[in-house]
Copies of this chain bind each other. A is one copy, B any other.
Amino acid sequence: MSRLTHLDDQGNANMVDVSDKQITFREAVAYAEVQMRPDTLALITEGGHKKGDVLAVARIAGIQAAKRTSDLIPLCHPLMLSKVALELVPNGERNVVEITATCKLSGQTGVEMEALTAATVAGLTIYDMCKAVDKEMVISAVKVLAKSGGKSGDWTAEKATC
């Protein structure tokens, strides 16, 4: 039967021991989106430089957050990402900014948490920069889209909707 890997027999939380795991190439892609009013989205997308800057700040915040994942999530292992990339796409039809984060490394543990942390913090940064004009934004659909590498092999999420 399933049990939570971070809890030992007494139910105490500890870091999982990955000492004996193989070092393999691993990749994970995570998603998040920020829902907002149409006029808020317009403020992000209008004009040349403005668009660049709001999304640029969120992208940088996401990249830096990925590198700090083991500092934020108590039972995550420290690891050395070889790649972090964020794509932020304003979607005018759904009135969201769609955030996709990709992380890679060769190591003993997967990088889903790094990708999720990157996507989430990018979303929080968009929230921060727009909150003066829109208090009702919602960050949602935070999930792993795909992961590869490691013993459990490749995995892709079925289409999930919020």
Name A residues whose Cβ lies closer than 8 Å to a Cβ of B.
Answer: 2-8, 10-19, 21, 25, 32, 39, 43-44, 47-50, 52-57, 59-61, 63-65, 67-68, 70-87, 104-108, 112-113, 116-117, 120-121, 123-125, 127-133, 135-144, 147, 155, 157-158, 160, 162
Return the chain B residue nearest A158 by Cβ.
Answer: B136
Min CB distance A35 to B, Å, is 9
Chain B residues with CB below 8 A from A121, complex form: 72-73
Contacts of A64 in B (CB 8 A): 64, 71-72, 74
When the two chains form their complex, are residues A15 and B84 in contact, meaning their CB atoms are under 8 A apart? yes
**Which residue of chain B has its CB nearest to the CB of A106?**
B19
Per the bound structure, the CA–CA distance linking A82 and B121 in Å amounts to: 22
Question: B residues within 8 A CB of A2?
Answer: 39, 43, 133
Rounded to whole Å, the gap between the CB of A11 and the closest CB of chain B is: 3
Q: Is the CB of B155 within 8 A of A7?
A: no
List the 5 shortest-distance A-B pairs measured between CB atoms, nearest first: A11-B49, A52-B52, A139-B142, A140-B140, A17-B83
Bound: A54/B49 CA distance, A: 12
Please name 27 pairs of A and B residues whose Cβ atoms are closer than 8 Å in the assembled complex, sorted by A. Answer: A4-B50, A4-B54, A4-B129, A4-B133, A6-B54, A6-B57, A11-B52, A12-B49, A12-B59, A13-B59, A15-B83, A19-B83, A21-B82, A52-B52, A52-B53, A56-B57, A56-B60, A67-B70, A72-B72, A73-B121, A73-B124, A73-B125, A75-B125, A113-B127, A137-B143, A138-B143, A138-B160
